[in-house]
Amino acid sequence: MHERIVGLYEENAAAWDRQRGRDLFEKPWLDRFLGLLPPRPRVLDIGCGMAEPIAAYLIGRGARVTGVDSSPSLVAMAAERFRQAEWIVGDMRALALGRRFDGLLAWHSFFHLAPEHQEGMFARFAAHAAPGAALMFTSGWARGEAIGRWEGEPLYHGSLDSADYAARLAASGFAVVDHRVRDPECGEATVWLAQMRPASGLDGSA
């Protein structure tokens, strides 16, 4: 079912655009993320959708956003609405932009990957992280799979366990800044906020 996610969002792009709330209850976490970044940061939004409300807020705060999503229709919406940003159609599992960013965000997107594919993403996060870059993503909290329903079809979610996420972040050069399991003030999202350790040597300077 995890392989169905790409087609499911593409086929129901208009429905997702209608249904996605714009009230931005995620703002406190986004502000913490931005607080770790320099002025006018380069931000990579992985699984950007149609850019609302997350990327739109970042753009409004002065971020230079590059958004990546597997749905051409959602990316087209983002490109039409926010022409000052860069929008790319692509599967995050093959992310290889050849450049680094001050911040990386995978909000309610990374958790649609199967656990084994999530494991491989940490090297891709590190490869796109500038020295001191912030990384924020949402996840589950126990290893396994959870299947919801959306637009009449199964909606896949996968997760590692919390100890595995922490270990993989550390092995990739990131230090955990904060982690909340099912944050009641953020729609029960489980959130990880981490920052690339400057002394990790992953920027190629050490």
Q: Is residue 206 part of a domain?
A: no
Global pTM value: 0.90
The per-residue pLDDT for 200 is 41
What spatial distance separates the first Cα and last Cα of the chain, rounded to whole Å? 42
Along the chain (206 residues), what's the average pLDDT of each consecutive run of 10 residues?
Answer: 66 88 94 97 97 97 97 96 97 96 96 91 97 96 81 82 96 97 95 85 40
The per-residue pLDDT for 202 is 42
Which range of residues forms the domain containing residue 94?
A: 2-200
The per-residue pLDDT for 4 is 62
What's the domain count of the chain? 1
Q: Is residue 205 part of a domain?
A: no
Q: Is residue 171 part of a domain?
A: yes
CATH for 27: 3.40.50.150
Q: Is residue 17 part of a domain?
A: yes
E-state strands within 79-173: 86-89, 101-106, 129-139, 144-150, 153-159
The per-residue pLDDT for 157 is 82
Per DSSP, the chain holds a count of helices (H) and strands (E) of 7, 9
CB neighbours of 21 closer than 8 A, spacing ≥ 6? 53
Contact 68, 45 (CB under 8 A): yes
Q: Is residue 128 part of a domain?
A: yes
